Homo-oligomer: A and B are copies of this chain.
Amino acid sequence: MTSTTPLSPSGRSTLGRLHERGRADRADLYAVLDAGLVCHFGFVADGAPVVLPAGYGRLGDTIYVHGSSGARWLRSSEMPACLTVTHLDGIVYARSVFHFSMNYRSAVVHGTARLVTDETERRDSLRAIVEHLAPGSWEHARTPSRRELAATAVLSMDLSEASVKVRSGPPKDDEEDLTDEVWAGVVPVLPTFGAPVPDEHVPAGRAVPEHVTRR
């Protein structure tokens, strides 16, 4: 797949409602996924859905999540899954409560989550997950030991079936409400990074490295 391969909408990844918010480019999918830090990973256990937050990383058209190899949800070698990443960009204040909304970008990936067993892919995917969370860190920190690798499970999903939705811009009030005296507009939501806080073992006066301050 390339960035111009369509998101190949199946029935479930074809947007029913508000399809004008849909995006059809693979590049839009990559952009939403790459800008996030936490995904919400859904699976089915005993017939009921379970949605858990997780870190993730992407390599080409595969997305990876990881966790402890002891975690119940990471014990299946293969299972139907849904992985969603959402960015909240703003709160949309309208003149009628019906038109209150959020500005957001979201990507929903449908498919099968598979336990990664190939040792090279496991290592590459863990690197992608750590680099996604904390760019530049893999080369600065100690890499995983054999024991640590064994304690880590990685699931992969391919990005062949996904949908992207984006809402942006001002409220869409009804014509007849525009005469109202109600304030309407958008309050932007901006995720920001605070100043890095070293732990107690970092020598006093030690500079924060560039790959951390770059955030």
A residues in contact (CB < 8 Å) with B: 12, 16-18, 37-38, 40-53, 55, 67-68, 70-72, 80-84, 86, 88, 90-91, 93-98, 100, 102, 104, 106, 108, 110, 126-127, 130, 133-134, 137-138, 140-145, 148, 151-152, 170-171, 173, 177-178, 180, 182-202, 206, 208-209, 212, 215
B82 touching A97, Cβ below 8 Å: no
A12 touching B50, Cβ below 8 Å: yes
| A129 → chain B closest CB, angstroms | 9
Partner of A51, one of B82, B95, B170, B208: B82
| A81 → chain B closest CB, angstroms | 6
Given A141-B97, A184-B202, A197-B188 in contact, is the A40-B40 Cβ separation under 8 Å? yes
B100 touching A130, Cβ below 8 Å: yes
**A182 surroundings in chain B (CB, below 8 A):** 140-142
B68 touching A17, Cβ below 8 Å: yes
Complex: A143 Cα to B137 Cα, angstroms = 51
B137 touching A82, Cβ below 8 Å: no
Complex: A129 Cα to B32 Cα, angstroms = 26
B184 touching A194, Cβ below 8 Å: no
Partner of A194, one of B37, B133, B187: B187
**A91 surroundings in chain B (CB, below 8 A):** 37, 133-134, 193, 215
| A27 → chain B closest CB, angstroms | 21
B189 touching A102, Cβ below 8 Å: no
| A191 → chain B closest CB, angstroms | 5
